[in-house]
Amino acid sequence: MRLLFDLALVAMLLVFLVVQMPRIGKGPPSKRSVCLNNLRQIGIAIRSYELATGKLPRATLVGDDGMPLHSWRTIILPFFDEGSLYDSIDLSKPWDHPVNVEARLQPTPDFLRCPSANLPHGMTTYLAIIAPDSCLQPGKGRTMSEITDEHANTILIIEVPPDMAVPWMSPWDTDEAVLKALCRAGNHLPHKSGLTALFLDGSTRIISHTFSEPEIRAWTSVSGNDGTEAF
């Protein structure tokens, strides 16, 4: 019964997302809107993964030797109807191992491509914030109960400029220092209005102001009640 309830919840979220998309006759959505919708879809997939497994996806899959093998972006592929692509990847071998070359040569999945970023083949600008107390952790998945800060003020994913793009299959992401720099980057950002970010509650925002370092720090922390006044 729990599984059926979870699947119904995910279906309801997807329907809500579709309804909120621009209606026919109102013209095509802006590139910024498409980008924010990509982040919302990522948020739904991450939440769907958590509902199915009881934990958030790991930031990276790691081998027995502790070396990173694959990214959270690969882990959530089945929740984007990308089961065939997911099944073609050998998760026991690194993302850039010859056995995974066929998957690596595939175009970047649509949900990982910002239309404002003119990227080389196979690249993405959607990166997780990785820190000792961030939501997504290398090698392990957090439970939602571990995250005691306000979910609406806890960042999961940000969009970085094209010159910071990474191969979408790679276990490469970013950190708090980069977030701080991007919050002050001005027109260096992919969207002139500010930094696009996905929060744990599934909301997306354009961060268009200069916040203090403690406020920025609060966005990456999962505990301490330090994020309730960040916005």
Q: Which amino acid is at 170?
A: S
18 versus 137: the higher-pLDDT residue is: 137
Assign 216 a pLDDT band (cuts: 50, 70, 90): confident
pTM over 0.75: yes
pLDDT(28) > 90: no
Residue 148 has pLDDT above 70, yes or no: yes
Four-point Cα dihedral 113, 107, 11, 37, nearest 10: 10
**First and final CA of the chain: distance in angstroms?**
38
Q: Is the pLDDT of residue 24 over 60?
A: no
Burial profile 9-24: b = 16 or more Cβ within 10 angstroms, e = fewer: ebeebeeeeeeeeeee
pLDDT > 80? residue 138: yes
83-107 pLDDT tens trace: 999 999 999 999 999 999 999 999 9
Comparing 21-25, 53-57, 60-64, 87-91, which segment has the lowest mean pLDDT?
21-25
